[in-house]
Amino acid sequence: MTQGPDPAQAGSPAFGAARPVPAARRGKPFVLRVGLTGGIAAGKTTVGRIFASLGATILDADEIAHRQVEKGAPAYDRVVEAFGGAILNQDGSINRSRLARIIFADTERRSVLESILHPLIRKEEASLVQLLADTGQGRIAVSNAALLIETGFYRDYHRVVVVHCGPEVQLDRIMKRDGLPEDEARARIGAQMDTKEKLKVAHYAIDTTAGLQATEGRARAVFRHLQQDLQALSDVS
């Protein structure tokens, strides 16, 4: 399995292609924006929880997307119009499992959903980061987003962390987590960018194959370097 960059070499121009993000306005605390990404069931949520326990503020793209498609929310009408009444529950709410089956089976329809949701997700995320800067309540903002690299949005972050694991471990996790048959689980994995391509733009990589204890050790090591990055970039902002 291809390994990601060593955390000890954080910040080196050789790792990651993310361009610098403009510093916060003078007089406000600098907020380090971190993109946390990786394949489905690779362990992003687990790493996010570890980062949160260490003091990071986690902005979860899936949670934001779920809010955006609730009845009365900005994306609801557009999603129903694009995908039809078949995705609705009896109470009119969107059945996310049905919607997921549609988009993972059809690249074009997945692109339609992304075109609706991504601008709304980015707008809410930007507002949350601005709130952190305005209030000084958080200095490291970690955005957990599966498609960060595919969309090119990874360039908007100071640091990019890619979470990955062995392919058979990933397959087993998604089958158990989502109750999917093997062919459907493989299709969902295959619908995403290859992990090796994600690792090319990572500043840090966290391999979760060996389980929770090893993952926590690696995540803590990466977070220490993120804290160093925060200090270094704060000094020049």
Residue 3 has pLDDT above 50, yes or no: no
- How would DSSP label each residue in 50-95? HHHHTTPEEEEHHHHHHHHTSTTSTTHHHHHHHH-GGGB-TTS-B-
**The domain 7-61+125-236: what is its CATH number?**
3.40.50.300
Confidence band for 180, pLDDT divided at 50, 70 and 90: very high
The pTM for the full model equals 0.85
Residues 206-215: what's their mean pLDDT?
98
Q: What are the domain boundaries of the chain? A: 7-61+125-236
pLDDT in tens, 118-161: 999 999 999 999 999 999 888 999 999 999 999 999 999 999 99
